[in-house]
């Protein structure tokens, strides 16, 4: 299973970890993925999805 949000399509982001001496090393900023059951109106059943935390906030806000 890939590290990708099934709802928004978010993936990991490349960035730098900057030390006190301003030395840069590459790091990977991963997506905050959570397992969530979402009700599907089309299929009329619960579906397990791997969804980012921001997508969960948006889902609960719009309900």
What are the pLDDT digits (tens) for 36-49?
Answer: 999 899 999 999 99
Is there a contact between 31 and 1 (Cβ–Cβ < 8 Å)? no
Q: Dihedral sign, CA of 37, 11, 1, 17? A: negative
- 10 Å Cβ neighbour count for 58? 14
Low-confidence ranges of the chain (pLDDT < 50): none
Nearest to 13 by CA among 28, 35, 32: 28
Matching residue, tokens 């997508």:
55
How many whole angstroms separate alpha carbon 48 and alpha carbon 40? 10
pLDDT of residue 62: 85
What pLDDT score was predicted for residue 63? 72
Total-model pTM: 0.77
For the chain, list the domains and their CATH numbers. 13-62 (2.30.170.40)
């Amino acid at each position: 299973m890939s590290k990708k949000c099934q709802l928004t399509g978010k993936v990991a982001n490349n960035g730098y970890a900057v030390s006190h001496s301003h030395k840069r090393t590459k790091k990977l900023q991963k997506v905050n993925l959570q397992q969530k059951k979402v009700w599907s109106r089309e299929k009329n059943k619960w579906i397990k999805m791997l969804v980012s935390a921001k997508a969960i906030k948006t889902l609960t806000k719009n309900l």
